[in-house]
């Protein structure tokens, strides 16, 4: 039909008017038709008609003919005077086709080469053009132009500015723009909510939506679909159900994208049955709906249903996309599904989808969670277009698998490539630093957080609290905690756990009550952190009350970790028989956690008879764990039962079981140094051992005696003293004393539980050197000062 009209125009000798060609342009369905129409426009003398040329330019952008649109403008700009509307069409067209430099060039031409003044549409379109990372400085300059031109209160321009700042992850700047607009329309509210969701600020997105509803602003189906994404990520079932009710009330419930949002929401909240029922309400499910349901099955461990729906989609002839594959990949719970991951990878290779950033990121995530780190890194390295999410997946994978140095190294590489992190990147790298216990790295990332304006992000602030607590700065963690305007349950848990780690049991209990008073509900992790704090502070009765409250007042079913913590609480306090009775009365089968905690208590209280019984249980449950056998051997040595100690060590040798070697990390001037027992690899080894000898001389004069009772029984006492004298933490402390300024605090990290001899050694050193020494061992922090330890010799 359109072809006939064009042919008729070409055959006719009669001049056609503008309206004819405007209708003809409107009817064009492909670029070939548009080019033929353009030829007829020229032949009919309308090549300089501004309205016709504007419509033609608009259609060229619709068909993605960007270079043609640019050429048309260049060729005609000297022959006709473009009006503001044509400039806006060009700026918007280049903006939508991701040609920001062209948009800026047209904007500059309008400002500098014409007498025209930009309007609110001009500014909104050019701001939209620069709303991606890399254009931050240009965006700020444009914002200044907006303010100078008097459009800072315009909702249309405001929406573009909010979207721009969200694109830069400048959340606080987006809030400032938003709050300065007095009359906010639905589009502006939607831009704010969707921007927060894009930046993983899910709590904030729900909060803004709540303000929108309470303030009486009109929401639409787009608002509901976006905020459902936030509630799905937060897994806030009650909030999502309220939004579901609002959708019914506003007659938006049967909008396909709202139903799809509800499918995703209920799936992520674990209600896959209702999700499937809602999926059935979609009249003609599109690919997006199928993707949501496939992902819903997958994230609820219904792998067979996910694969079945995926096959159904393929049979229907629908072409799957990257989101389909990402939904099918068992990211949430991949354990036992390595074969499926391999199969999906094979399918992606065959369909040429493995290079897709989101697909490769999901596969990297699965492989890291399965500890298939080589496969994950290969996929990451081979990905041609690494998104920020893919960097996050690899860094997080390293951190979660204890490969902290690899995580930090990759993060540094990311910085060198000038790839800006987001809150997810920051929380992952803070987790790695917390594991490593490197305060200088923590300070570097903290400064970066300030630079990137991430301090207001609740996840980043929570990770900062955790990092500072685990790096020994409990005071800084406390300061950050109380400075936070809004806290979630994870934030409270991080601070309670931090107090427990430093032996501040009473502070942990007090904070728990503050948490309840603030209206934040405790979780299983909260109770675990409280019980841990009670255990390491000797608060037995308080711990028993909390365990009872957890089950009877708060309705939590204790996990194996809670039971193990209770055994540790009782055993550490010397109530070994009570601990054994507690294990025997447990409603679940006791595992290595419970028996291991009791064996540790047997070591503390030198009960070799019970240790023999407990170790038999442990050897049956975990025969390859060398730690239990070493602990039993030490218990026998303490009891001076050397033949039994030797027998246990002989089993270790025969089975070729390797004991984790003790090592200690100390950071000096931002550089980490790791010492092992009897280490002589350090460049300043002579000075270190000289300092150690000097310390030992002064300490012996002060009454120090080397604790050798757990050393090998078949060597002379002098050799035993030499063995414990060169433990890794002693070497690290000696190095700290010679490498730091007088009076400076020394911080070290030991990968194992600190031994009795080293604990006594550090107390004496803190007194004779008048230094504060902070030691983080496998269990907790010890703060040594003036010959005393914060643990009260209770660790």
In a 13 Å sphere around the CA of 157, the CA atoms on its Cβ side amount to 24
600 vs 510: which has the higher pLDDT = 510
pLDDT tier for residue 639 given thresholds of 50, 70 and 90: low
End-to-end distance of the chain based on CA atoms, in angstroms? 87
Same domain, 671 and 768: yes
Whether 594 is covered by a domain: the verdict is: no
Least confident stretch, 115-119, 587-591, 720-724, 786-790: 720-724
Q: Which of 490, 465, 489, 487 is nearest to 475 (CA)?
A: 465
CA angle (160, 165, 170) in 5-degree steps: 165
**Same structural domain, 44 and 57:** yes
Q: Pick the closest to residue 328 from 317, 314, 318, 341 (CA basis).
A: 341
Instruction: Average the pLDDT over 387-392 and give the result.
Output: 92
pLDDT at residue 140, rounded to an integer: 93
Indicate whether 709 pLDDT > 90. Answer: no
502 pLDDT higher than 50 = yes
pLDDT category at 564 given cuts 50, 70, 90 is very high
Convert the pLDDT of each residue in 168-177 to its tens digit. Answer: 989 999 999 9
- The pLDDT-based confidence of 584 (bands split at 50, 70, 90) is very high
Residue 263: closest CA among 296, 285, 304, 237: 296
Report the pLDDT value the prediction gives residue 621, as an integer from 0 to 100.
87
With bands split at pLDDT 50, 70 and 90, how would you rate the model's confidence at 79?
A: confident
State yes or no: pLDDT of 158 exceeds 90.
Answer: yes
Tell me the C-alpha to C-alpha distance, in Å, between residue 659 and each of 290, 617, 630.
Answer: 51, 20, 8
Q: Is residue 10 over pLDDT 60?
A: no
Whether 24 maps to a domain, the answer reads yes
Whether 670 and 784 map to the same domain: the answer is: yes
* pLDDT reading at 644 higher than 80: no
- 393 lies in a domain? yes
In a domain, 475, yes or no: yes
Per-residue exposure over 646-672, b if at least 16 CB sit within 10 Å of its own CB, e if not: eebbeeeeeeeeeeeebbbbbbbeeee
DSSP annotation of 673 reads E
Q: Using pLDDT thresholds of 50, 70 and 90, give the confidence band for residue 672.
A: confident
Task: Give yes or no for residue 185 having a pLDDT over 60.
Answer: yes
Tell me, what CATH number does 477's domain have? 1.25.40
710 against 107, higher pLDDT: 107
In the structure, what pLDDT confidence band is assigned to residue 513 with cuts at 50, 70 and 90? very high
Nearest CA to 236 out of 210, 273, 199, 198 is that of 210
Q: For residue 468, is it within any domain?
A: yes
- Burial label for 248, CB within 10 Å (0-12, 13-18, 19+), is exposed
pLDDT of residue 788: 93
Mean pLDDT of the region 232-250: 93
Q: Which residue among 40, 62, 80 closes a domain?
A: 80
Tell me the pLDDT tens digit for each residue of 23-72: 888 888 898 888 888 888 888 888 888 889 889 988 888 888 888 888 88
Which CA distances in Å does 351 have to 355, 356, 456? 10, 11, 42
φ/ψ bin of 54: left (φ > 0), alpha (ψ from -120 to 50), beta (otherwise): alpha
Dihedral pair phi/psi, residue 405, rounded to 5°: -65, -35
635 occurs within a structural domain? no
User: How large is the average pLDDT for residues 208-231?
Assistant: 95
Residues 668 and 780 placed together within one structural domain of the fold: yes
Both 727 and 773 in one domain: the answer is yes
Q: Identify whether residues 334 and 408 lie together within a single domain.
A: no
Check whether 712 has a pLDDT greater than 60.
no
Mean pLDDT for 592-618 is 89
Residues 481 and 493 in one domain: no
- Cα(574)–Cα(158) distance, integer angstroms: 66
Interstrand relation of 746-750 and 773-776 (parallel, antiparallel or unpaired): parallel
Q: Are residues 430 and 325 in the same domain?
A: no
Cβ distance 456 to 486 under 8 Å?
no
Helix (H, G, I), strand (E, B) or coil at 742: coil
**Same domain, yes or no: 393 and 426:** yes
Q: Are residues 699 and 741 in the same domain?
A: yes
Number of independent structural domains in the chain: 5
In a domain, 430, yes or no: yes
Transcribe 147-167 into DSSP letters.
Answer: HHTT-TT-HHHHHHHHHHHHH
Domain containing 447: what range? 387-485
Q: CA 137: distance to chain centroid?
A: 27
The CA-based angle 742-743-748, given to 5 degrees, is: 100
**Does residue 519 carry a pLDDT above 70?**
yes
Q: Both 4 and 75 in a single domain?
A: yes
**Boundary of a domain, candidates 335, 350, 373:** 373
> What is the residue-wise DSSP string for 691-717?
HHHHHHHHHHHTT-----TTS-TTS-H
Residues 547 and 530: their CA atoms lie apart, in Å, by 9
pLDDT given for residue 711 in this prediction:
45
Given 51, 80, 109, the domain boundary residue is: 80
Looking at residue 713, its pLDDT comes to: 39
Residues in the chain: 795
416 lies in some domain: yes
Residue range 262-308, pLDDT digits in tens? 999 999 999 999 999 999 999 889 999 999 999 999 999 899 999 99
Does 463 lie in the same domain as 362?
no
- Structure confidence at residue 720 (pLDDT): 37
Closest CA to 491 of 520, 519, 452, 517: 520
Least confident piece of the model among 281-285, 462-466, 478-482, 717-721: 717-721
| pTM value > 0.85 | no
């Amino acid at each position: 039909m359109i072809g006939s009209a064009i042919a008729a125009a070409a055959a006719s000798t009669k001049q056609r008017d503008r309206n004819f060609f405007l209708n003809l342009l409107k009817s064009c369905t492909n670029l070939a038709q548009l080019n033929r129409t353009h030829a007829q426009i020229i032949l009919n003398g309308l090549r300089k008609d501004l309205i016709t040329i504007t419509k033609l330019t608009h259609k060229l952008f619709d068909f993605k003919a960007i270079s043609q649109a640019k050429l048309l403008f260049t060729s005609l700009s000297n022959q006709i005077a473009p009006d503001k509307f044509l400039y806006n069409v060009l700026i918007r067209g280049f903006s939508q086709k991701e040609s920001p430099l062209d948009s800026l060039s047209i904007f500059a031409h309008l400002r500098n080469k014409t007498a025209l003044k930009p309007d609110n549409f001009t500014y909104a379109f050019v701001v939209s053009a620069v709303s991606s990372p890399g254009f931050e400085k240009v965006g700020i300059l444009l914002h200044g132009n907006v303010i100078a031109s008097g459009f800072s209160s315009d909702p249309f321009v405001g929406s573009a500015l909010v979207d721009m700042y969200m694109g830069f992850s400048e959340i606080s700047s987006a809030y400032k723009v938003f709050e300065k607009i007095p009359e906010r329309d639905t589009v502006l509210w939607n831009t704010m909510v969707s921007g927060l969701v894009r930046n993983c600020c899910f709590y904030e997105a729900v909060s803004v939506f709540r303000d929108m509803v309470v303030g009486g602003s009109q929401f639409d189906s787009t608002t509901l679909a976006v905020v459902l994404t936030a509630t799905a990520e937060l897994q806030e079932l009650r909030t999502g159900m309220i939004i579901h009710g609002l959708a019914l009330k506003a007659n938006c419930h049967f909008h396909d994208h709202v139903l799809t949002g509800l499918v995703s929401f209920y799936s992520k909240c674990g209600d896959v049955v209702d999700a499937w029922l809602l999926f059935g309400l979609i009249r003609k499910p599109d690919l997006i709906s199928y993707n949501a349901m496939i992902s819903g099955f997958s994230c609820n461990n219904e792998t067979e249903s996910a694969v079945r729906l995926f096959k159904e989609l393929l049979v229907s002839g629908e072409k799957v996309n990257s989101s389909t594959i990402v939904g099918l990949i068992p990211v949430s719970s991949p354990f036992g599904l390595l074969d499926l991951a391999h199969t999906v990878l094979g399918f992606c290779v065959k369909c040429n989808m493995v290079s897709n950033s989101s697909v490769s990121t999901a596969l990297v995530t699965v492989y890291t969670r399965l500890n298939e780190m080589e496969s994950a890194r290969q996929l990451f390295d081979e990905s041609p277009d690494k998104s920020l999410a893919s960097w996050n997946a690899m860094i997080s994978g390293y951190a979660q698998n204890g490969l902290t140095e690899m995580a930090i190294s990759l993060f540094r590489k990311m910085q060198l490539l000038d790839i800006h992190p987001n809150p997810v990147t920051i929380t992952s790298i803070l987790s790695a630093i917390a594991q490593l216990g490197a305060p200088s790295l923590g300070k570097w990332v903290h400064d970066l957080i300030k630079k990137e304006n991430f301090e207001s992000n609740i996840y980043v602030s929570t990770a900062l609290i955790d990092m500072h607590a685990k790096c020994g700065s409990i005071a800084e963690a406390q300061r950050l905690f109380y400075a936070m305007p809004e806290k979630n349950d994870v934030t409270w848990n991080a601070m309670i756990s931090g107090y427990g780690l430093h032996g501040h049991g009473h502070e942990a209990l007090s904070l728990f009550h503050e948490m309840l008073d603030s209206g934040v509900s405790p979780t299983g992790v909260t109770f675990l952190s409280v019980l841990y704090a009670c255990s390491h502070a000797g608060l037995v009765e308080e711990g028993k009350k909390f365990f009872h409250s957890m089950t009877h007042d708060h309705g939590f079913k204790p996990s194996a970790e809670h039971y193990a913590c209770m055994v540790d609480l009782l055993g550490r306090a010397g109530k070994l028989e009570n601990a054994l009775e507690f294990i025997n009365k447990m409603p679940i089968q006791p595992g290595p956690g419970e028996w291991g905690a009791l064996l540790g208590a047997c070591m503390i209280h030198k009960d070799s008879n019970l240790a023999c019984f407990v170790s038999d249980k442990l050897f049956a449950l975990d025969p390859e764990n060398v730690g239990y056998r070493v602990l039993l051997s030490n218990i026998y040595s303490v009891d001076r039962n050397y033949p039994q100690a030797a027998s246990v060590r002989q089993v270790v040798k025969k089975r070729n079981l390797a004991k984790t070697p003790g090592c200690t990390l100390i950071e000096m001037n931002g550089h980490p140094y790791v010492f092992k027992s009897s280490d002589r690899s350090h460049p300043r080894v002579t000075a270190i051992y000289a300092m150690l000898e000097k310390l030992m001389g002064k300490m012996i004069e002060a009454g120090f005696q080397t604790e050798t009772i757990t050393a090998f029984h078949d060597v002379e006492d002098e050799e035993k003293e030499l063995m414990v004298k060169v433990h890794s933490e002693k070497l690290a402390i000696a190095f700290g004393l010679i490498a730091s300024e007088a009076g400076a605090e020394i911080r070290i990290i030991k990968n194992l539980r600190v031994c009795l001899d080293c604990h006594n050694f550090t107390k004496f050193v803190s007194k004779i050197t008048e230094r504060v020494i902070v030691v983080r061992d496998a269990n907790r922090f010890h703060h040594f000062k003036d010959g005393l330890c914060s643990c009260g010799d209770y660790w």
